[in-house]
Structure 1
Amino acid sequence: MEKWQSLVADKRRRQQNAIPSAWLIAEPPKTVANVTSFPSECGLLTEKEVLITETVDINILLRKIAASEWSSVEVVTAFYKRAVIAHQLVNCLTEIDIPRAIARAAELDEYLRTHGKVVGPLHGLPVSLKDQISVKGLETTMGYASWVGQYAECDATIVEILYECGAVPFVKTNLPQTLLWIETNNLLFGRTVNPVNRNLTSGGSSGGEGALLALKGSPLGIGTDLGGSLRIPTAYNGLYGLKPSALRMPLSGVVSSIQGQDSVLSSLGPMANTLSGLKAFMEAIFSQEPWMKDPLVAPMPWSKARYELAEHGGGNRLCFAIMWHDGAIKPHPPVTRALTLVKDALTIAGHQVIDWQPLKHLEFSNLLNSIWSAGSREDFLEATMSTGEPILDSMELNAGTSGAGYFAKTTGTGAHELWKLHKLKTETRKDYLDRWQNTVQVTGTGRPIDAIICPATPSAAPPHGMNKYSNYTRVWNALDYTASVFPVTTVNPDVDIKQPPHEFSNSLDKFYYEMYELETFRGAPIGLQLVGRMLEEEAVLAMTKIVDDALKVVPTHKL
């Protein structure tokens, strides 16, 4: 047995031993694809624990804890049990430390009893964390077997702030080896699957968070997004998520691949079952002035005026632009139907909707590939060479281990050539800004378009190993635009009929066309993106609520 295999065996044994025997379940057979109802029906949760964990509105949870209707210990215990159930169903957790979380919850309950007030705006709320977010005393493996035994010496800044807000960080969640994949699988913990259909991917790289939240094993999760890593799992699991601009949220203490590459920065953001949960999180984090703790965070407090859309006509008669496709990969029929539903809902609500033609999206894709490939191979080898851990070369069910990795198949780019790529990216961002600004001529509002609505991915969650395309999300990382994801509908074979072949733009466009089989995707969630401009987090959340509210009046049979 090689060193890395010994580390895997040790870690998996310790993870299993962290689960109380009373919380073990009889897992449904693999033939049962949809397991979303299993946690509430399996009998492990008490009636009150089901009630607590089915309360998806974070504001209700917080009010009940603050009023001592539910103790933090009760809430944390309920969600921890449900998280462990979820893990046994879809393999979504990495770190499990129940005593730590219960002790923290008990301290918060005692503070509330003694002082008659809450510690902060997230008092008593359990919060799940993507594995790369460091928690003092816990391992941060980031999908590498080679990193087993590396215990964090201090909390990431976001964890410090969560403690200040009164939250209870309680589990860490699975991600892909090297992080740079849009599916979730590694040699250490294995593959995370989609709760709606375990034959489909949960997405990546925040796939553990997506699957856990879909099973209501956490009321609020924190993911990261370098090229869609938060938004893709959000869309695939029927959730709400927000990718802020990179410098709005603290990343200090969050480990990652290709750290030091600062041309396109990763972004940290919330994921939840309700849109209000995203707002509660952002307001809470900004209340603690994260720019005083992380030198890369912009000093921008939460702005009520921006949330009330003061720069967007107060939210009256907004102009949205819909991007139906990106010119490279045509979306599947249910994605196009979702866009049509949103267009119709917004029109009925009194807003204007125009079309958006993508600008240089392929150029952005090529730029990102070149920039991220510059040092990826060296980065992966440095992380694994001490143990002999092989590098996965795909996310397929029978993935090989060539050591290439997705962004390490070419030799690195020299410094001067890399500078040229950075310059080209800046120039292309200017072109995109000009395109956006010039829409003032056609909106009729006296403003440029307020936001773009577009696919998050060209399909619902694909079968394992078939998730090949992320440029619907990562183009916005290259631009550093703020983007949300919101659920719209699910795949309905009665209406989402496969269309005749179109003229394929490339081989991947053909691949996605051929992938679409109605029974494969039946019932899978469809989410869309709403994209604002850089540092427009408040406005994007507010506009997403406008879209979400407009969809709620659409007749159910149309959804």
Structure 2
Amino acid sequence: MARNWKEIAAEKKQQRDAIVPKEWLLTNLPPPETLNVIDFPDKSGLLTERDIEITNSEVGLLLEKLAKGTWTAVEATNAFSKRAIVAHQLVNCLTEVFIDRALARATELDDHLKKTGKVVGPLHGLPISLKDQISIKGLESTMGYVSWIGQYAEKNSVLVDILEAAGAVLYVKTNIPQTLMWPETFNHIFGRTSNPYNRSLTSGGSSGGEGALIALRGSPLGVGSDIGGSIRIPAAFNSLYGLRPSYGRVPYAGCVNSLEGLASILSVLGPLCRSIDGIKSFIKAVVGQEPWLKDPMAVRKPWSENEYSLVGHGQGQNLCFAILWDDGVTKPHPPIIRVLGETQQALLAAGHKVIDWIPLKHEEIYRTGGKIWTAGAAEDFRVVAAISGEPVIGTMEVVSESTDTAPNDTPVFRPMPGGLSAYELWQEQKRRQGLREEYLDHWNATKDLTGTGRPVDAIISPCAPFVAPPHGKNSNASYTMVWNVLDYTALVVPVGFVNPTQDGKRAVEEFFNEQDRANYDLYDPETFKDAPISIQVVGRTLEEEAVIRLGEIVDQALKAQNK
């Protein structure tokens, strides 16, 4: 007789929990009604002063001290492992824990440095967390599917090989939504991940486990994936920097995924971090390993100092940014409008130009992307879920009635009954290509508006029409999806936090549509208290170096403005 899927899921969860050192389980956890737990790890009593110093350090300082031997790889791995377990007890962010394996690797790195005086690579000794779907030999990547429990990877994904060759230490994998196609984090095996700034709010998704873990400093840098915002939404909701590179810049081969076989608007891998220097260190290290020799879909593009120096953008002088105040579909909530205005003033004060960005066919771009992703009528998800008998999570059900254990969750989009024929899919892909061409022309035409002799250097955009919403209410990914459909590089930069005094609800008389009205009704400043507010810095296709530098300029301008 086949076992019930709930029993299998519970057993897997117990196996994960059994691996955690018992002495790291806390009895003084804050009660559920304590919503903001971002500072709890430092006060937990588990971490030593040295642990706290290490885990509160940014990537640049960590790499420097690890390279000098001031901190050993074993020390760093142990400190971040402990803090990751504390974070997990607060927000439920981990799926796989393999600390013993990580400490063995860290010992090898310390021995190498001691014997040779040289680091193994540019990420020597740096603990890095990974989204659950990134395969590591000998470990599971359930991706939230009960039927994938017990399937152990036979080899590493290409990125794992590259990170380990660069000296990184891998120690935990993080929670995701079943299917990966929802910007929140919930599945039937591991449950739901919460936001550490306000546990009544979502951590985002689909890299929501990464977002919550890094926000609590249980990881200095993590790797997520992004097909419609799955790096940028968790980064934005958890006050992190997060980069969505263009397709092929970071190798994807060897990861498990949904919608495998889809040939357009593909998922990409990218970093989430508490500092831009960590984003830069990750991209430089990865492309420095020549991933195009290991993944046939990786782009042959080494790191370019010229592009980072903004040679094609006036060497970074007299830049022109364009602000997307809204997409003509859904107006952002008051805190987001506030920080867009603050960003505008900061850039002007720094000597740059700022103009308004006129959205071109954003609703059509968004709907085209949704049609392409749901062309298979969720068969991909339903086939995998049916093996164990578990239901597909409610947000990816084709029908309106959900059998899910979280029936109040609202979807970004639902798969269409019947899906699309091959010919119909081709027409949507043709439409997408036409939209990309139109948007390129639209961007180039701004040359006549900037006063720099160049088109706009970057777009400043909201990350969503809201900050992190209550669990189950993340129903809009239009501000991130549009850049996936266009394959533009986008970097999230954190700006501030919701302040109910500053961010009161304002009367609005006209709405774009019912979705816009529903978004307005969702906002209550007390509900969103302490939620992080972020922006996106958007560049063109394969402009990772330039976008990182432009993001640094925006970040520096904002920090100078707030002194």
Both proteins in one fold, TM over 0.5: yes
Whether the 8 Å contact between 1:131 and 1:173 is mirrored in structure 2 is yes
Runs of 4+ in 1 over 6 A off after TM superposition: none
Q: Residue in 1 aligned with 2:331? A: 330
Counterpart CA distance in 2 for 1:67 and 1:502 is 61
Q: Residue in 2 aligned with 1:538? A: 545
Q: Residue in 1 aligned with 2:94? A: 93
Mean Cα deviation higher: 231-240 or 404-413: 404-413
Q: Which amino acid letter does the alignment assign opposite residue 254 of structure 1? A: C
If the length of structure 1 is used for normalisation, what is the TM-score?
A: 0.97
Q: What whole-Å deviation, never above 9, does each CA across 1:239-262 have from its counterpart, x for those lacking one? A: 001000012110001111101112
Q: What whole-Å deviation, never above 9, does each CA across 1:247-300 have from its counterpart, x for those lacking one? A: 211000111110111211111100000110000111111110011110111100
Counterpart CA distance in 2 for 1:90 and 1:490 is 19
SS at 1:94 equivalent = strand
Q: CA deviation at 1:142?
A: 0.6
Q: Residue in 2 aligned with 1:473? A: 480
SS at 2:11 equivalent = helix
Q: Which amino acid letter does the alignment assign opposite residue 547 of structure 1? A: V
Q: CA deviation at 1:459?
A: 1.0
Q: What whole-Å deviation, never above 9, does each CA across 1:462-494 have from its counterpart, x for those lacking one? A: 001111100100100000000000001111111
Whether the 8 Å contact between 1:180 and 1:406 is mirrored in structure 2 is no
Tell me, yes or no, if structure 1 residue 249 matches structure 2 residue 233.
no
Q: CA deviation at 1:192?
A: 0.1
Q: Residue in 2 aligned with 1:41? A: 43
SS at 2:417 equivalent = coil
Mean Cα deviation higher: 210-219 or 408-417: 408-417
Query: Kindly, what percent of the aligned residue pairs are identical?
Result: 53
SS at 2:224 equivalent = strand
Aligned-residue CA RMSD in angstroms? Answer: 1.6
Q: Residue in 2 aligned with 1:432? A: 439
Q: CA deviation at 1:555?
A: 3.2
Q: CA deviation at 1:502?
A: 3.2
Of 25, 30, 38, the residue aligned with 1:28 is 30
SS at 1:127 equivalent = strand
Whether the 8 Å contact between 1:390 and 1:401 is mirrored in structure 2 is no
SS at 2:257 equivalent = coil
If the length of structure 2 is used for normalisation, what is the TM-score?
A: 0.96
Of 458, 463, 466, the residue aligned with 2:465 is 458
Tell me, yes or no, if structure 1 residue 551 matches structure 2 residue 558.
yes
Tell me, yes or no, if structure 1 residue 442 matches structure 2 residue 443.
no
1:371-382 alignment to 2 at 5 Å? 371-382=372-383
Of 389, 410, 421, the residue aligned with 1:414 is 421
- Relative to 1, partners in 2 of residues 1:217 and 1:298: Cα closer, same or farther, differing over 3 Å? same
Q: What whole-Å deviation, never above 9, does each CA across 1:306-348 have from its counterpart, x for those lacking one? A: 0000000000010100000000111001100110001000001
1:73-152 alignment to 2 at 5 Å? 73-152=74-153
Of 33, 51, 54, the residue aligned with 2:53 is 51
Counterpart CA distance in 1 for 2:80 and 2:406 is 33
- Relative to 1, partners in 2 of residues 1:31 and 1:401: Cα closer, same or farther, differing over 3 Å? closer
Whether the 8 Å contact between 1:144 and 1:384 is mirrored in structure 2 is yes
Whether the 8 Å contact between 2:332 and 2:464 is mirrored in structure 1 is yes
Counterpart CA distance in 1 for 2:128 and 2:361 is 38
Q: CA deviation at 1:496?
A: 1.0
Q: CA deviation at 1:98?
A: 1.2
Where structure 2 has 5 or more consecutive residues not aligned to the other structure, the ranges are 397-401
Counterpart CA distance in 1 for 2:377 and 2:239 is 32
Whether the 8 Å contact between 1:453 and 1:531 is mirrored in structure 2 is yes
Counterpart CA distance in 1 for 2:529 and 2:33 is 15
Tell me, yes or no, if structure 1 residue 233 matches structure 2 residue 240.
no
SS at 1:447 equivalent = coil
Q: What whole-Å deviation, never above 9, does each CA across 1:223-254 have from its counterpart, x for those lacking one? A: 00000000000000000010000121100011
Q: Residue in 2 aligned with 1:388? A: 389
Q: CA deviation at 1:394?
A: 3.2
Whether the 8 Å contact between 2:319 and 2:452 is mirrored in structure 1 is yes
Whether the 8 Å contact between 1:394 and 1:465 is mirrored in structure 2 is no
